[in-house]
Amino acid sequence: MASSDPEFAQYCCELLASAGPCRARRMFGGWGISVEDLSIAILADLGEGDTLWLKADEATRAEFEAAGCRRFSYLAKGQPKSMNYYAAPSDAMESPPLMRPWARLALEAALRSRAAKPVKRQAAKPRKSTN
């Protein structure tokens, strides 16, 4: 699950720029692409070359599947696993305007994912005894 091409990572950030200022970071042998600390995409080679995988969720999965996009799936300890990411449509890889609707879907899924996470609360400080 490696992707080592920083030029491809930069190109994908340019394609996804309509979602906001993108940042690519190395992670798990591939790349993570985020906008304002929201993970919207990953770059990984699952055996078919470097691929841009866009974040999806229940609300957007049907659109990706209708466009014929493959789901991010891999084997872990001999068991098939998948993540809520789909390969970007091949025509969208040609230009930022063609990627715009897909970047929007990925950003919306990332926003919903963040909103669904429970808010971390700070541990209550022990009260001082007044005795």
Is 125 part of any domain?
A: no
More confident residue, 68 or 27: 68
Interatomic CA distance for residues 111 and 102, integer angstroms: 14
pLDDT for residue 4 is more than 90? no
Q: Does 50 reside within a domain?
A: yes
Predicted confidence at residue 120, as pLDDT, reads 61
pLDDT of residue 118: 64
Cα→Cα distances 10→77, 87, 104, Å = 32, 17, 18
At 77-131, the pLDDT tens digits run 888 888 999 999 999 999 999 999 999 999 999 999 887 666 566 555 556 655 5
For residue 105, give the CATH number of its domain.
3.30.1460.30
Q: What would the pLDDT profile of 57-74 be if each residue is shown by its tens digit?
A: 999 999 999 999 999 988
In a 13 Å sphere around the CA of 71, the CA atoms on its Cβ side amount to 16
Q: How many domains does the chain have?
A: 1
- Quote the pLDDT of residue 123: 57
